[in-house]
């Protein structure tokens, strides 16, 4: 049963792939390259097209336009059973009428391999569940099913392993544990993992490279640090972590720094963190980079004055403040509770300051709220 | 869902069969409904004359039986519904760990022959059974009145025989109701009766519709219950069709059959429209 | 009043009131019990009278005997009728299950033009009164100059059983998670292998249930059989014919035996499926 396509290896390359269902475009002119051996994440809110993209890579959907290559082999129209690609499904999709052993052996048998014992037992050891070989899927817990689904895919040593929100149904603690284990397994086995998720913390924890998707397109692609420290769009700035975006305009330069005017107050930002197209910008600073100080305390770096504390939330690790600025915008500040200083009170007049290098600038004509909506966890995308 | 030519291949044998042995016979029966006996020909020879008056004559001749059939079927369906609903409700919510056993027990009586069951009722409720003499001794029944050979016996017989067709769809529908919605109703100040009227009943409507259709349709065309449990005044349209067919009087039989089907169809369509479910199958 | 005295008053609540409360709470369970009694009356009657030491007429009780159970084929034509019913039932089941399953897969799995028309065609036989079905099929055979008998009966039974098979199998197919078949293809199974190793095993219980349903519908059918069987007697036909002159107790024996057999099969089936879930 092993086809020529089945032995393809290399980088996965999507070229100008579009998927439309009638009037609705799920994936819009998407191009991306996933390097062999990396842990790659497709991150985005539900409905952004990430699952559709994954299914096209698996062969369960066919692109309307565009091509998909694995190394030098064109796999755009090859059937799923002819691709050396395996999927870990969101609800695991374990075959209820087969034992765990037979579930794992399924792919091997279809490929004509007679002697499956060694491979199956080895992968059962890898996921630390050798004692469950003769049970049926319905007798396993969610976490165990998830690991078996992973084992069932890995045992085939695919060129690419696709994971469709595999940790969604697990509780928080188990999810954290599985995130670490998956990362370890990927390094151990050396396969290319493509992980689809809407959980940005999960993506940042596990992936080498993240592609942030929105409405069928890739907004930005890069390492977690790149995306977090240097977002290119408001969507990415708001979707990964949280951002304060302040409207302003570029008014001058100072060496490697650009000077911006934010509602009459001047701040500096590094040139290499500016994605402005013209002088109209949204200046962005992450809440944990802000420092609050009372009016008489000396400050350094960029300063925004005239703030008033509107809300205080004690979170244990940190205290979160909402500070109302003179131009009517509330800024979010996270202060770590590490210096024994009594927190600020509601109504306190304060200044906000931060190191200029932590400032980024985005093109000013965007919706500053893009990417901030809280979307309930969807179990089923298109 | 895939979109290729396979479905047509899969449908071919079954539909070819149904076309030959269902659609075609119905159509040929329809064709004979407007025929007349060949004058001077043998009994059972007819020629097509497009005599639509057959319908009018057949209907007028048997309008009493038509009315009675629809009435009996309606009453039997109602009684079956009244008996089955609490039973289905109890099965869904009040049977605990015995649920599966009880479900089997509901269907079990219908593993015996339907004719034997009906004959059993006939003998139990007849002159030689023990019910009639007992009632007579208690003074509840006069010496000349009987239970069998009455409309009541026929209706009750039909209700009994079609009980599982009513109970099972009802049960399936009621069982699907999340008991927490009933709790929520109570939490929002509704008493038991109001909860039933405003939550349980509407949510169980698909089952009610399915059950009543599965009962009414066969009941309207039945003749066995009428023959075994009823008297000469209780015969239904089924009895007429059966006896006419044996003559053979195909045109009348056919006309009566289609009139019956039309009547059933009209009632069913009106009912489904009112009840508001579109997929019955 | 001391607390002990209060307790005494409470425990002396009238027995009648306690009973009334118990009734109110369990009213529906009582109703359920009564309903079951009602359901089983004719069954019990049939069973009891299978022990009747009757001659030709089994209407009045004449004495207890095992004789009929020991010689169930004693009455003329009873076992012949039973045999015919079983043969016709098996044949009708096989054909209607095959045809119906194919149709169920077509309608349940594919979007195609004419899908709703197909649903309607399947619904029609269930909505047609048996008497019309029976009469029309017979008239077809008469036109083709085929005499009513064994095979016309089988064919007629298949006609009304197919729809029930389709509905039953379709329901089972609908409950199948499409992701399972996608997973199979993802794991190198082509379309045929996916069907053979994943789809079919998972749909099999539905097909089995449909076959069982078809057999019981065929076995118990009277009206359609009456039109199309000619001189061939089936069990229901035998009873109908004997109703006037007196049904021999052997018929009761057979019916009771069928009842217990069917009951046993269903219970075994339930126990087996429960065992499978747990092990």
Q: Is B1's pLDDT higher than 50?
A: no
| Within-domain flag for B14 | no
What pLDDT score was predicted for residue A237? 94
Residue B15 lies in a domain: no
Report which of A170, A92, A90, A158 is spatially closest to residue A123, judged by C-alpha positions: A158
**Do C46 and C120 reside in the same domain of the chain?**
no
- B207 or C20: whose pLDDT is higher? B207
Q: Are residues C220 and C131 in the same domain?
A: yes
Domain shared by C86 and C135, yes or no: yes
What is residue B21's predicted lDDT score, i.e. its pLDDT? 93
How far apart are the C-alpha atoms of A239 and A219, rounded to whole Å?
Answer: 11
Is residue C10, in this structure, part of any structural domain at all?
A: yes
B33 lies in some domain: no
C82/B contact by beta carbon, under 8 A: no
Residue A356 in domain: yes
Q: Which of C133, C136, C160, C227 to mutate: most B Cβ within 10 Å? A: C136
Distances (CA, A) of C151 to A332, B26, C93: 84, 19, 13
- Could you tell me if C64 and C82 lie in one domain? no
Which residue segment(s) compose the domain that C201 sits in? 76-247
Structural domain containing residue B85 = 71-234
A106 to chain C nearest CA, in Å?
A: 7
Instruction: Tell me, yes or no, whether C255 lies in a domain.
Output: no
Neighbouring CB atoms inside 10 A of A278's CB total 10
Q: Do B260 and C103 touch (CB under 8 A)?
A: no
Does the residue C92 lie in any domain?
Answer: yes
* A1: nearest CA partner in chain C: C188
Do residue C48 and residue C93 come from a single domain? no
Please give the backbone phi and psi of residue C88, each rounded to the nearest 5 degrees, phi first.
-60, -40
Instruction: Tell me: do A14 and A58 sit in the same domain.
Output: yes
- Residue B160 with chain C: CB contacts under 8 Å: 38, 42
A106: contact with C, CB 8 A cutoff: yes
pLDDT digits (tens, 9 = 90+) for A254-304: 888 999 999 999 999 999 999 988 889 999 999 999 999 888 888 889 999
C61/C26 same-domain check: yes
The span from the CA of B182 to the CA of A339, in Å, is 54
Domain membership of residue A260 as a residue range: 242-360
What is the tally of structural domains in chain B?
1
Contacts of A158 (CB under 8 A, 6+ apart): A84, A85, A86, A191
Q: What percent of chain C has pLDDT over 70?
A: 92
Same domain, C147 and C120: yes
Helix (H) or strand (E) segment spanning residue A285: strand A280-285
CB contact under 8 A, C190 and A89: no
- Shared-domain flag, residues C38 and C80: no
> If you measure CA to CA, which chain A residue comes closest to C188?
A81
Distance CA A165, CA A378 (A): 10
Is the pLDDT score of B228 beyond 50? yes
Q: Which residue of B has its CA nearest to C164?
A: B281
Please state the rounded mean pLDDT for residues A141-160: 92
Is A366 contained in some domain?
no
Band of residue B43 on the pLDDT scale cut at 50, 70, 90:
low
Total of domains in chain C: 2
Question: B144-175: per-residue pLDDT in tens?
Answer: 777 778 888 899 999 999 998 899 889 988 88
Three-class secondary structure of residue A314 per DSSP: strand
Cβ A80 vs Cβ C169: under 8 Å: no
- Domain termination residue (choose one: C35, C50, C69): C69
Residue among C100, C105, C210, C204 at smallest CA distance from A96: C204
Give the gap in angstroms from C-alpha B41 to the nearest C-alpha of chain C: 17
Same domain, C58 and C83: no
Between these two residues, C245 and A358, which has the higher pLDDT value?
A358
Tell whether omega for the bond before B248 is within 30 degrees of 0, i.e. cis: yes
Q: Which bin fits B129, alpha (ψ -120 to 50), beta or left (φ > 0)? A: beta
> In chain B, which residue's Cα lies nearest the Cα of C109?
B1
CA distance linking residue A378 with residue C37, whole number of Å: 50
**Main-chain dihedrals φ then ψ at residue B52, nearest 5 degrees:** -70, -15
- A155 and A253: one domain? no
Task: Say if residue C189 is in the same domain as residue C140.
Answer: yes
Q: Return the CA Rg of chain C.
A: 26
- pLDDT tens digits along C73-120: 877 788 899 999 999 999 999 999 999 999 999 998 888 888 888 888
Report the pLDDT value the prediction gives residue C265, as an integer from 0 to 100: 83
User: A286 CA to chain C: closest CA distance, Å?
Assistant: 41
The answer to whether residue A260 sits within a structural domain is: yes
Q: Which of C182, C187, C201 sits opposite A106 (nearest CB)?
A: C187
For C139, the closest of B15, B25, B228 (CB atoms) is B25
CA distance C63 to C54: 8
SS3 content of chain A, % helix, strand, coil (to 5): 25, 35, 40
| Mean pLDDT of all residues belonging to chain B | 84
- For residue A34, the domain's CATH number is 3.40.50.300
pLDDT single digits (tens) A185-209: 898 888 999 999 999 999 999 999 9
Residue-wise pLDDT for C133-158, tens only, equals 998 898 888 878 888 899 999 999 99
Residues A27-45 have pLDDT tens digits of: 999 999 999 999 999 999 9
Terminal-to-terminal C-alpha distance of chain B: 20
Residues C62 and C81 reside in one and the same domain: no
Q: What is the DSSP string of C97-147?
A: HHHHHHHHHHHHHB--TTHHHHHHHHHHHHHS-HHHHHHHHHHHHHHTTPP
Identify the pLDDT of residue A152. 95
The last residue of one of the domains, among C46, C69, C92, is C69
Interface size between A and C, measured as CB pairs under 8 A: 62
CATH number for B174: 1.10.3720.10
Q: Name every residue whose Cβ is closer than 8 Å to that of residue A382 and which is 6 or more positions away in sequence.
A: A21, A26, A47, A51, A52
* C192 lies within 8 A of chain B by CB: no
In this structure, what are the phi and psi dihedrals at residue B53, rounded to the nearest 5 degrees? -65, -20
- Can you tell me the mean pLDDT for A365-375? 77
Please judge whether A156 and C188 are an interchain contact, meaning their C-beta atoms are less than 8 angstroms apart.
yes
Whether the CB of A138 is below 8 Å from some CB of chain C: the reply is yes
**Which chain C positions have a beta carbon within 8 Å of B253's beta carbon?**
135
Torsion-angle region of C148 (φ positive above 0: left; ψ -120 to 50: alpha; else: beta):
beta
- Number of other CB atoms surrounding residue A315 within 10 Å: 9
C195–chain B Cβ distance below 8 A for any pair: no
Say what the pLDDT of residue C277 is.
59
Q: Are residues A175 and A146 in the same domain?
A: yes
- Domain termination residue (choose one: A184, A204, A229): A229
Number of domains in chain A: 2
Residue pLDDT, tens place only, C22-74: 777 788 888 888 889 999 999 998 888 888 877 666 777 777 888 878 887 87
């Amino acid at each position: 049963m092993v086809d020529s396509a089945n032995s393809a290896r290399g980088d996965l390359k999507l070229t100008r792939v579009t998927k439309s269902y009638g009037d609705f475009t799920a994936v819009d002119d998407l191009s991306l390259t996933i390097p062999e051996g990396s842990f790659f994440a497709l991150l985005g809110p539900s409905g952004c097209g990430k699952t559709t993209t994954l299914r096209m890579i698996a062969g369960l959907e066919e692109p309307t336009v565009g091509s998909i290559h694995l190394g030098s082999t064109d796999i755009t129209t090859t059937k799923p059973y002819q691709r050396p690609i395996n999927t870990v499904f969101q609800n695991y999709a374990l075959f209820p009428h087969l034992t765990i052993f037979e579930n794992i052996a399924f792919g091997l048998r279809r490929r004509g391999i007679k002697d499956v014992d060694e491979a199956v037992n080895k992968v059962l050891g890898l996921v630390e569940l050798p004692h469950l070989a003769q049970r049926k899927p319905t007798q396993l817990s969610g976490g165990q099913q998830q690991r078996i689904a992973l084992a069932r895919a890995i045992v085939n040593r695919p060129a690419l392993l696709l994971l469709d929100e595999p940790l969604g149904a697990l509780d928080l603690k188990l999810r954290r544990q599985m995130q670490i284990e998956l990362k370890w397994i990927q390094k151990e086995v050396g396969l290319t993992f493509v992980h689809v998720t809407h959980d940005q913390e999960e993506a940042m924890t596990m992936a080498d490279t993240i592609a942030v998707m929105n409405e069928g397109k890739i907004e930005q692609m890069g390492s977690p640090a790149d995306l977090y420290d240097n977002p290119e769009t408001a969507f990415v700035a708001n979707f990964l972590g949280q951002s304060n975006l302040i409207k302003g305009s570029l008014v001058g330069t100072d060496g490697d720094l650009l000077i911006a005017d934010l509602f009459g107050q001047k701040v500096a930002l590094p040139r290499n963190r500016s994605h402005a197209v013209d002088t109209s910008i949204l200046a962005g600073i992450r809440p944990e980079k802000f420092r609050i100080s009372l009016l008489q305390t000396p400050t350094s770096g960029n300063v925004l004055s005239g703030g008033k504390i509107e809300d205080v939330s004690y979170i244990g690790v940190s205290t979160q403040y909402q500070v109302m600025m003179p131009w009517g915008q509330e800024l979010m500040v996270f202060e770590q509770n590490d210096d024994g200083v009594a927190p600020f009170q509601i109504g306190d007049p304060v200044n906000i300051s931060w190191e200029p290098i932590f400032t980024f600038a985005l093109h000013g004509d965007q919706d500053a709220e893009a990417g901030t909506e809280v979307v309930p966890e969807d179990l089923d995308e298109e | 869902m895939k979109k290729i030519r396979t479905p047509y291949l899969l449908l071919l044998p079954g539909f070819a069969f149904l076309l030959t042995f269902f659609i075609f016979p119905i159509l040929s029966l329809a064709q004979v409904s407007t025929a007349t006996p060949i004058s001077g020909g043998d009994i059972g020879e007819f020629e097509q004359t497009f005599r639509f008056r057959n319908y009018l004559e057949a209907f007028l001749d048997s309008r009493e039986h038509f009315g009675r059939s629809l009435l009996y079927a309606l009453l039997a369906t109602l009684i079956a519904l009244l008996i089955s609903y609490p039973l289905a409700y109890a099965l869904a919510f009040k049977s605990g760990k015995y649920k599966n056993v009880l479900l089997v027990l509901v269907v079990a009586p219908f593993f015996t022959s339907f004719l034997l069951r009906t004959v059993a009722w006939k003998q139990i409720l007849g002159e030689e059974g023990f019910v009639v003499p007992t009632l007579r001794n208690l003074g509840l029944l006069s010496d000349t009145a009987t239970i069998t050979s009455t409309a009541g016996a026929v209706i009750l017989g039909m209700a009994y025989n079609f009980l599982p067709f009513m109970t099972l769809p009802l049960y399936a529908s009621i069982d699907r109701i999340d008991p927490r919605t009933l709790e929520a109703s109570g939490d929002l100040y509704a008493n038991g009766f109001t909860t039933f009227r405003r939550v349980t009943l509407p949510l169980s409507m698909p089952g009610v519709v399915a059950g009543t259709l599965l009962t009414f349709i066969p009941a309207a065309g039945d003749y066995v219950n009428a023959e075994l449990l009823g008297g000469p005044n209780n015969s239904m349209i089924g009895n007429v069709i059966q006896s006419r067919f044996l003559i053979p009087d195909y045109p009348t039989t056919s006309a009566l059959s289609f009139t019956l089907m039309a009547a059933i169809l009209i009632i069913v369509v009106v009912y489904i429209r009112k009840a508001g479910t579109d997929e019955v199958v | 009043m001391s607390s002990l005295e209060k307790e005494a008053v409470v425990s002396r609540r009238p027995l009648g009131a306690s009973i009334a409360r118990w009734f109110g709470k369990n009213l529906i369970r009582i109703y359920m019990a009564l309903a079951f009694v009602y359901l089983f009356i004719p069954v019990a009657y049939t069973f009891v009278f299978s022990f009747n030491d009757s001659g030709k007429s089994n209407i009045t009780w004449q004495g207890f005997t095992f004789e009929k159970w020991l010689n169930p084929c004693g009455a003329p034509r009873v076992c012949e009728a039973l045999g015919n019913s079983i043969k016709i039932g098996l044949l009708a089941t096989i054909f209607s299950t095959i045809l119906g399953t194919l149709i169920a897969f077509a309608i349940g799995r594919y979007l195609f033009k004419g899908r709703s028309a197909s649903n309607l065609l399947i619904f029609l036989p269930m909505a047609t009164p048996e008497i019309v079905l029976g009469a029309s099929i017979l008239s077809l055979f008469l036109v083709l100059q085929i005499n009513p008998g064994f095979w016309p009966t089988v064919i007629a039974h298949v006609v009304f059983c197919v729809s029930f098979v389709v509905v039953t199998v379709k329901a089972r197919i609908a409950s199948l998670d499409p992701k399972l078949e996608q997973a199979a293809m993802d794991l190198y199974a082509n379309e045929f292998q996916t069907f053979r190793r994943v789809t079919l095993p998972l749909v099999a219980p539905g097909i089995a249930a449909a076959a069982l349903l078809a057999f019981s519908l065929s076995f118990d059918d009277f009206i359609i059989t009456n039109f199309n069987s000619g001189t061939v007697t089936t069990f229901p036909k035998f009873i109908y014919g004997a109703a006037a002159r007196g049904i021999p107790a052997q018929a009761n024996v057979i019916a009771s035996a069928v009842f217990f057999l069917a009951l046993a099969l269903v219970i075994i089936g339930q126990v087996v499926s429960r065992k499978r879930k747990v092990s």
